[in-house]
Amino acid sequence: LVTAVDHVGIAVADLDEAIAFQRDTFGLQVAHEETNDDQGVREAMLRAPGDAAGAAQIQLLAPLREDSAIAKFLDRNGPGLQQLAYRVTDVEAAMAALRAKGVRLLYEEPRRGTADSRINFVHPKDVGGVLVELVEPAPGH
Ligand code: MC0
């Protein structure tokens, strides 16, 4: 079902501060930055200098609004690991396979994720307490 670990997401209060911290502390570089209004986030994808193309990235997620999932996560837990994202080739097929195993998906239909990927999420209570994202990259990514 899963072809690779796509990224690991960390909730942060301030995106620019967190980017600078990861750069100055660990030497990670920004590969991509965008605002996703649907998800209520400003986000950055970070890479390590030695990463091969397609290597798992670190995603920093900062809230755009108080009613967003990241704002709620920060209120409850403070900054920290928020999600694990698995890459799939066909998100609808992955959703169907997981539903058949009795695992709950958060959305009926895929939504738009980073860099025009198609995404859905698995309920953390059904998969060991980890919020799992499914990511079908846009063609050419
Ligand atoms: C909540 N829970 C978590 C969790 N968030 N467990 C593990 N990891 C998390 N991140 C737990 C709570 O502690 C609670 O457990 C139970 O799940 C249900 O919590 P709830 O209060 O009913 O629900 P909420 O309001 O906390 O919402 C959780 C939920 C939400 C996962 C449904 O965060 C959501 O819809 N997430 C999907 C969207 C998202 O995360 N977007 C931001 C990233 P107890 O034991 O207390 O009952 S956007 C993104 O990632 C895009 C841009 C991309 O990569 O392409």
CA nearest ligand 1 atom 30, residue: 69
Q: Is 119 in the pocket of ligand 1 (CB under 6 A)?
A: yes
Predicted TM-score of the model (pTM):
0.98
Write down the pLDDT at residue 141.
85
Distance CA 46, CA 52 (A): 13
**Residue type for 21, please?**
F
Atom of ligand 1 nearest to the CA of 117: 55
In angstroms, what is the span from residue 69 Cα to ligand 1's centroid?
6
ipTM: 0.98
CB 9 near ligand 1, within 6 Å: yes
pLDDT tens series, the chain, 141 aa? 999 999 999 999 999 999 999 999 999 999 999 999 999 999 999 999 999 999 999 999 999 999 999 999 999 999 999 999 999 999 999 999 999 999 999 999 999 999 999 999 999 999 999 999 999 999 988
- Does the Cβ of 72 fall within 6 Å of ligand 1? yes
| Residue of 83, 86, 107, 112 to test ligand 1 pocket, by largest number of atoms within 8 Å of CB | 83
Nearest CA to 11 out of 85, 65, 86, 72 is that of 72
Neighbour-count burial for 90-129, b at 16+ CB within 10 Å, e otherwise: ebeebbeebeeeeeebeeeebbebbeebbbbbbebeeeee
C-beta 131 within 6 A of ligand 1: yes
